[in-house]
Structure 1
Amino acid sequence: MFHKEGYKIMAIAAISLLVINIGSYTLINMYWIKFGILLISIVLFILIVQFFRNPTRSTVLNDNNVVAPVDGKVVVIEEVYEKEYFKEKRLQISIFMSPLNVHVTRHPIGGIVKYSKYHPGKFLVAWHPKSSEENERTTVVVENDNCGKILYRQIAGAMAKRIVNYAEEGKQVVQGSDSGFIKFGSRVDVFLPLNTPVKVSLNEKVKGGITVIAEV
């Protein structure tokens, strides 16, 4: 199963690679060069296709839990000053996605979308200290009675050139449901109330919609 954001890119890639290989077989006489181009084309297309995979995830709905919004590795667990929405200290958990991870973004909690905003910006590498504030990003806040307001931020990286965000203010969303997609990148930050019990550790690998990262 593939994410809808990938169909156009996969189709363009398939047509482009097909044209390249038809051209190589027509214009190039050396068999090993033709075979090399074909092999590279197959590997490249497989990489593109696997990037847009969208596996079905069965989220255990629980308003006391915050689940990972994306697949990846936990790279930050620290107190920070969140200055866009809360304007106060929050507990930040950051998850970094490699190009091999599933890049679907899922709602970490269910509830009402209270805030959703896109910010144009730079494309610094995702682990850069200023990427959370200076890179292209979207900020979403979802609220329910148990968790209160939870903010999560999609952040583009050096490879990511487009963030897709489906969260609309005022809409009811289901925990673990599709919230967006980051094309070819790269990191999501989650901001929780201070002293929230964290259920993951640094460098732990998590699965979006499955792994409980905190309990409220």
Structure 2
Amino acid sequence: MKMRDTFIKPMHPEGRRFVAIFAAVTLLLFLVASFLGWIGVGLTIWCYYFFRDPVRVTPTREGLIVSPADGVVSLIEKAIPPAELGMPDVALTRVSVFMSVFNCHVNRAPIAGQVSAIAYRPGKFFNASLDKASADNERNSLCIDMADGRQLAVVQIAGLVARRIVCFSAKGDTLLTGERFGLIRFGSRLDVYLPDGVAPMVCLGQGMIAGETVLADLTTAEPARIGRAD
């Protein structure tokens, strides 16, 4: 990897107009006061990094479920998937990944399969790290049918700052593990509902990398992991 690749990342097309707006405002700020202009420069650079879309190396072994988002595991608990997906009314293990405004916000498919349902539901904008965000906040839910017949749900949830959920996929699409399927602007959360009987291989507070960090393994009977903060 070249040194410049450490700092310069590809930007997702969704971010181009936002960076252009930030840059235009920055020019106006320079006309008002130099120090305001430099603040604008900093915010423009932040906006560029927010919409960064780096290359990720996704493990390809069959059965691996990867994180759909960069961020931190904020919740691991039993919950019923969103009713609008039409999945069985059975509590599954839900793993929530909270994304701060400094994380990459491109969302990636946690497992390969066909999108059998997509459902958008408007809602509120509580802090995405709170438990009630899953039930009350604006969300976009996808049900993915895997090759073995099992289903997995992944839910994009808007947060306190995020006001726009973007989904690139449509019902009937076939996704690869780690494939980009959407993004959320300016702070949010992703919930993954694991198939019944599948235990997470991550712990509360663990850092996650979208498309790379293994979240669970369909082929193992290993119990849920317990971590230690150090």
- TM exceeding 0.5: yes
Residue 205 of structure 1 aligns with an amino acid whose one-letter code is: G
Correspondence for 2:122 among 120, 123, 126: 120
2:86 pairs with 1:91: no
Within 5 Å, give how 1:39-118 maps onto structure 2: 39-84=38-83, 85-86=86-87, 87-118=89-120
Residue 225 (structure 2) aligns with: none
Residue 145 (structure 2) aligns with: 143
Which consecutive unaligned segments of at least 5 residues does structure 1 have?
Answer: 25-33
Alpha-carbon distance, 1:178 to partner: 0.7
Alpha-carbon distance, 1:139 to partner: 0.2
Alpha-carbon distance, 1:147 to partner: 7.1
Distance 2:118 2:80 in 1: 19
2:199 pairs with 1:205: no
Describe the superposition over 1:128-181 as per-residue Cα deviations: whole angstroms up to 9, x where unpaired: 222112111100011112472110000000100100011211111111111101
Residue 162 (structure 1) aligns with: 164
Describe the superposition over 1:93-112 as per-residue Cα deviations: whole angstroms up to 9, x where unpaired: 00001111100000111111
Describe the superposition over 1:183-215 as per-residue Cα deviations: whole angstroms up to 9, x where unpaired: 002100000123313211110001000001001
2:29 pairs with 1:7: no
Higher relative contact order (CA 8 A, sep 6+): 1
> Does the aligned pair in 1 maintain the 2:27–2:37 contact within 8 Å?
no
State the percentage of identical aligned residues.
Answer: 35
Residue 132 (structure 1) aligns with: 134
Distance 1:75 1:56 in 2: 25
> Does the aligned pair in 2 maintain the 1:92–1:190 contact within 8 Å?
yes
Alpha-carbon distance, 1:20 to partner: 2.4
**Structure 1 or 2: larger strand share?**
1
2:27 pairs with 1:18: yes
Alpha-carbon distance, 1:19 to partner: 2.1
Structure 2 length as normaliser, TM-score?
0.86
Higher gyration radius (CA):
1
Alpha-carbon distance, 1:127 to partner: 2.1
Residue 141 of structure 1 aligns with an amino acid whose one-letter code is: C
Which consecutive unaligned segments of at least 5 residues does structure 2 have?
Answer: 1-9, 219-230
Alignment root-mean-square deviation, CA: 1.3
Which runs of 4 or more aligned residues in structure 1 lie more than 3 Å from their structure 2 counterparts after TM superposition? none
Q: Secondary structure at the match of 2:131?
A: coil
Which stretch shifts more, 79-88 or 101-110? 79-88
Q: Secondary structure at the match of 1:122?
A: coil
> Does the aligned pair in 2 maintain the 1:140–1:167 contact within 8 Å?
no
Q: Secondary structure at the match of 1:82?
A: coil
Residue 216 (structure 2) aligns with: 214
Structure 1 length as normaliser, TM-score?
0.91
Count of residues in Structure 1 that have an aligned counterpart in Structure 2: 206
Distance 1:50 1:184 in 2: 11
> Does the aligned pair in 1 maintain the 2:22–2:40 contact within 8 Å?
no
Distance 1:165 1:181 in 2: 7
> Does the aligned pair in 2 maintain the 1:63–1:146 contact within 8 Å?
no
Alpha-carbon distance, 1:116 to partner: 0.8
